[in-house]
Amino acid sequence: MLESTHDPEVLLQHYLEDCLTEAGAVAFLELLKAQPELGDRLLGQLQVDAMLQEMEAVGSPTLVPLPQNEALAASSKPAYRRPTYIALAGVAALAACITLAASWALHLLSPANDAEATTAAVAVLARGVNLEWEGASHATGSSLTPGWLRLKSGLAQIEFYQGARVTMEGPAAIQLISSSEAYCTAGKLSAHVPPQAKGFRIQTPKGTIVDLGTDFGLDLNDAASPVHVFKGEIELHAAGSPMKSLKEGQAMALADTGRSMVADQSAFTSLRDVDARTAESQRLACESWLTRSTFWDNDNALLMRFDFQDNRETRSLSNHALNAPQILAGSIVGCDWTDGRWPGKNALAFRNVSDRVRLSIPGDHTALTFSTWVRINGLDRSYNSLFMTEGYADGAAHWQITREGKLRLGIAGRSGKLSHDYDTPAIFTPERFGQWLNLATTIDPGAKEVRHYLNGELIARVPRNDTFPVQINVAELGNWNDRGRSERVAIRHFSGAMDEFLLFDRVLTDAEIQKLAQ
């Protein structure tokens, strides 16, 4: 076909005739980008077509009698009456509509609109016990991209996307290279490599281990850097030595491949050890949370604290703020109970358009601090509610996450003031979905700013010149109601789980917010 030659004239004509193939459409779009004059020609042709269609709609042109001496010369060109102003306006409007439609069609043809979200992650931090990191910290459940992980202390279990599972004991340093390869310079680690991950490689300064589907241990804290094979077989490529094969029960030092040893599995952390240490760590974390909760409950500025440990049959959340008896329990609508941050810790799951917790907080509040623990499943809507005042007027507060992954506090205008949104950068990428996160936001009238926190760390401070008070009254966790102003309400429910919510009538310090995030 001529179209396959990508001839501009052919592609232009086929576009106008609405017979472009898919390949032709892609080629035509590229030509339009490279040749702006071709776009001008397209728009001009569309305008001409629009005018012709308008003229046909108006009716056949009216012939004007010509003098006899001009009749023969004009016999092949019948004259017609000049279109009226109204007709020309109609042509222009029609041409504009067609031009807009053409631009939209070209926009839809663009491959960029079909682009999918991408990730550079190659592994996930599946489990962690008493983790203390050097440099960037990583929460359990977080996706891991290529780069260094430096563990000062604790136990980290990393699951590579190809299937290998590596348990690392701190202090340790490992560089993730890909979903099937890592470089380790310090620490003690054990690896389980299922058949699907055969070929998994760990490089070290003294050599490389290529796994053939097995379980093995590596101790780089020992100067000899011994490798122990507990099951299966590995290839040992020590620096300056030929490749050696090690099978189950064998061990060898990377620093001295001439000396054979017996594998000692007891020297390395087993899955059973990880389970026991994880359970103990969770028990201690829960006890620490209970102690801190008692402290917060006595705070004079605490308006509300839901710990989600209520009887599942009551369908309500008790307010544990001891100095705010006027603020009653929240009413659960639709939500199902689920597991929280630790075994035995309750949480509410928000899945459906009906799911919400209704609550009431009277009065005006010049300073506020919001804090919650949430697990995000997805950002499926333009606005995903954390805490939203009913309606949006007279200083109402809307605490939410946008579809783009921004943490937002919206404050409605009051007394003639404009409404305003106070946003963070986009921080909630898919890599953060599925893990427990602590979110906090403060309204600080003294500093005239709104501050946002993620896991205890300040991530954004946004100026707020207005200091009029926020009014809450009736509000909802995880959803929104527009106060019955229309028959159909915008869908803004949260998709995920929540297992604690606190609201203070004061600005918490950075140190206090870090304690809430522990």
CATH number at residue 308: 2.60.120.200
Give the helix ranges, DSSP H, for 35-164.
36-58, 68-71, 85-109
pLDDT score at 149? 95
Residues 340 and 472 in one domain: yes
Q: Which residue, 184, 176, 134, is CA-closest to 159? A: 176
Same domain, 131 and 100: no
Residue 112 has pLDDT above 60, yes or no: no
The stretches of 261-380 forming alpha helices (DSSP H) are 271-297
Residues 240 and 153 in one domain: yes
Phi/psi at 224 (nearest 5 deg)? -80, -15
Quick check: is 151 in a domain?
A: yes
- pLDDT score, position 499: 96
More confident position, 142 or 77:
142
Output the pLDDT for position 107: 53
SS3 state of residue 134: coil
What is the model's pLDDT at position 49? 64
User: Same domain for 108 and 218?
Assistant: no
Asked if 351 and 314 sit in the same domain, the reply is yes
Q: pTM for the full model?
A: 0.71
Higher pLDDT, 509 or 485: 509
**What's the rounded Cα separation, in Å, for the pair 335 and 33?**
50
Residues 6+ apart with CB under 8 A from 219: 188, 225, 226, 228, 267, 268
Q: How far is CA 492 from CA 299, 337, 348, 462, 481, in A?
A: 32, 20, 17, 24, 9
Considering only 38-42, 82-86, 249-253, 467-471, which range has the smallest mean pLDDT? 82-86
118 belongs to a structural domain: no
Run of H or E residues at 482 = none
Q: How confident is the model at residue 100 (pLDDT cuts 50, 70, 90)?
A: low
Residue 320 token pair: 């544990």
Q: Which amino acid is at 201?
A: R
Residue 276 lies in a domain: no
- Give the confidence band of 69 by pLDDT, cuts at 50, 70, 90: very low
Residue 38's domain comprises 2-113
Q: What is the mean pLDDT of the chain?
A: 84
Residue 71 domain flag: yes
Q: How many distinct structural domains can be found in the chain?
A: 3
Residues ≥6 apart with Cβ < 8 Å to 418: none
Best CA proximity match to 161, nearest among 189, 190, 126: 126
Which of 106, 141, 121, 123 shows the shortest CA–CA distance to 15?
A: 106
Residue 318 has pLDDT above 50, yes or no: yes
Alpha carbons 248 and 429: distance in angstroms, whole number = 42
How confident is the model over 342-371, as a mean pLDDT? 94
Q: What is the pLDDT of residues 169-194, one digit of tens each?
A: 989 999 999 999 999 999 999 999 99
Sign of torsion over alpha carbons 131, 132, 134, 140: positive
**Backbone dihedral angles phi then psi of residue 7, each to the nearest 5 degrees:** -65, 125
Find, among 129, 123, 163, 167, the residue nearest to 147 by Cα: 123
Q: What is the pLDDT of residue 201?
A: 95
One-letter amino acid for residue 339 of the chain: D
- Clarify whether residues 382 and 497 are in a common domain: yes
Q: State the pLDDT at residue 457.
A: 95
Which amino acid appears at position 275 of this protein? Answer: D
Say if 277 falls within a structural domain.
no
Contacts of 400 (CB under 8 A, 6+ apart): 383, 384, 385, 386, 387, 388, 408, 410, 492
325 and 430 fall within a common domain: yes
Are residues 135 and 243 located together in one domain of the fold? Answer: yes
**CA-CA-CA-CA torsion sign (10, 14, 16, 17):** positive
**Quick one: 234 and 316 in the same domain?**
no
Q: Over pLDDT 90: what percentage of the chain?
A: 56
Q: Tens of pLDDT along 77-87?
A: 444 444 444 44
